[in-house]
Amino acid sequence: MTDDNIVVACRDCEYQDAFSQLGRARVALDAHESKQDHDVDWRINTVDAGVERAGADAGVCGVDGCENSDSPLVDW
């Protein structure tokens, strides 16, 4: 993942931060929610090419029939 690729933003106040690691983003999200009792959201701007391919091969786009049955990444 690229630097500061995961954004954590509060829906109830001005808090927003960006992280390069998902684990650190989750810790920040949980800390703000528990300390402030606010509703916090997060987004991942980009993922590594291998992660994107694995998701596409597994058909995680939500459209039936778009999975790649020839992929070694999918366990049928």
Q: Domain limits at 22?
A: 6-58
Is residue 65 situated within a structural domain?
no
Is residue 18 situated within a structural domain?
yes
Dihedrals phi, psi of 19, to nearest 5 degrees: -135, 155
Q: Which two tokens stand for residue 70?
A: 């020839």
Is residue 1 situated within a structural domain?
no
Is residue 10 situated within a structural domain?
yes
Q: What is the mean pLDDT of each run of 10 residues along the chain (76 residues)?
A: 80 94 91 93 84 75 70 66
Is residue 44 situated within a structural domain?
yes
pLDDT value for 33: 93
pLDDT value for 62: 63
Is residue 22 situated within a structural domain?
yes
Q: Is 4 left (phi over 0), alpha (psi -120 to 50) or beta?
A: left
Is residue 73 situated within a structural domain?
no
**Total count of domains within the chain:** 1
CB 16 within 8 A of CB 25: no
Q: Is the dihedral angle over the CA atoms 23, 24, 27, 28 positive or is it negative?
A: negative
